[in-house]
Amino acid sequence: MHFAQYYLDCLSQASYLIGDQTTGRAVLVDPRRDIDAYLADAEAAGLRIELVIETHIHADFLSGHLEVARATGAEIAFGAAAETGFPIRRLRDGERICLGAAPREPSDANPGTEPGTATGRESGTATGSQSGTAKGTESGVTLTVLATPGHTLESLCLVVRENPDDEAPFGVLTGDTLFVGDVGRPDLLSAAGHTPQDMAARLYRSLHTKLLTLPDTTRIFPAHGAGSACGRSISTETSSTIGDQRRLNYALQPMTQDAFVRLVTAEQPTAPGYFAHDAALNRDGHPLRDPAPPAPLTLAEALTARDRQGAALLDCRPAADYARAHLAGSLHVGLDTRFAEYAGSVVAPGTPIVLLAAPGTEHEARLRLARIGYDRVLGHLPDLAGVLAGAPERTRRSTRLSLADLLERLPLDPADGVQLIDVRNPAEYAAGALPGARNIPLAALLDRIDELDPARPVVLYCRSGNRSVIAAALLEARGFDDVSDVSGGCPVPVPA
């Protein structure tokens, strides 16, 4: 068996290439849009990617199923409940995909349906249909589909065996159903018309009747790791076992379904604004990624794009460089942070973008934006330092406070009119906040900016200083005159 995990730190996202080295048949699961690494590794291993499987309709990144299908001719598969704007193969609960056998003969089935014969049961699942093999030829690497609604209606997991009759699986790809240290959030958008409580109840049943019936030695390989907004306390580990999660995962401890529902619907992180956009594109279809580098622009062209097209001027340099000197009206998200996620929090989907990047980093910035479906990159300023030096009237400097400076001013005098804003997530804020601080998470600031008075001073803070400087740049770009943030962040509660 060939088994490879591809983990993308900047999005906390994992995809998987699984193949049978005897037949050369392979499946790719949850790919991102830049697919060259998958294709190169498959070719080096002598594998043909015949099927690309999505464990659910993703909201946090734009998946690469269309790019893979175009490059390889692979079928695209989702869980049976998925409704998409392009032909798919629907994977049924209990269905087996046997990569060690000869491929099935083409059928006259309608797009999205799958013929086959019954091939047995996975623990806790209904009998499914054989998929991808001719009847009676099951052998070698085998994937068994588990329908696991909860995070979304169409969510599925894939049990991986090196041979179809192995009692103990090699592992299970758990998508956004089960993470290391957490479970999938039940409140996201792909389950329109279903309450978080209803989806949480489905998630509880999926965990307890499907995944937790697998042997404790079964490895788990989730779709996300620490930092992802698809969970609230995901571990930095990118794999674990069913047994370890049974013991250590807070959401898998003995409790009633009602208790579980209350637990997992509380204090979830605010979803970035681009999530709905990406879910729609992953469901309905999207243009293929353009790998070309961004075009060089002059300052005049960049300002014209801003004034006539509403383009966002996005400064991608480290925070210290941005703070020392930046173009007036520009936004800031450093490439050394969770760039795509944070950019998707402060730039509305569909907005044209001009990149203000350090020389040589503009291509990486465009690629990361493409991973969340932000394809309208008009170009970049190739010599930002020269532009800033040559146009001092358009240059601004940020005000950043030290933690000591802020603490000396606490508690704030109401007569000063200072608006102290905590831009961390709700669970972080609930665990402790500075006196007098209001919580407006960075991911919500774009929609809630009208709650703040631009004529009054604003001080922003977060844990590390990354989110607060991004928020400060957004407010400055929206015309707030007196904005500062805490450089280096603020540990809360503050050490004595």
CB 268 within 8 A of CB 232: yes
For residue 128, which of 93, 179, 167 has the smallest C-alpha distance?
Answer: 93
Task: Output phi, psi for 315, to 5 deg.
Answer: -85, 120
Instruction: Return the exposure string of 344-362: e unless at least 16 CB atoms fall within 10 Å of the residue's CB, then b.
Output: bbbbebeebbbbbbbeeeb
Q: List the catalytic residue out of 157, 316, 462, 490.
A: 462
The answer, yes or no, to whether the previous bond of 87 is cis (omega within 30 of 0) is no
**What is the residue whose two structure tokens read 């930095």?**
236
Residue 124, phi then psi, degrees to nearest 5: 85, 5
DSSP 8-state symbol, 118: B
The DSSP secondary structure of 199-267, one letter per residue, reads HHHHHHHHHHHTGGGS-TT-EEEESB-TT-TTSSS--S-S-EEHHHHHHH-GGGSS--HHHHHHHHTSS
Contact assessment for residue 336 and residue 494, using Cβ atoms and an 8 Å cutoff: no
Tell me how far apart the alpha carbons of residues 237 and 225 are, in angstroms, rounded to a whole number: 7
157 is catalytic: no
Cis peptide before 495 (omega within 30 of 0): no
Tell me, rounded to whole angstroms, the distance of Cα 69 from its chain centroid. Answer: 21
**One-letter amino acid for residue 312 of the chain:** A
Residues 6+ apart with CB under 8 A from 360: none
- Alpha-carbon Rg for the chain, nearest whole angstrom, is 24
Contact predicate 225/236, CB 8 Å: yes
Catalytic residue numbers read 462
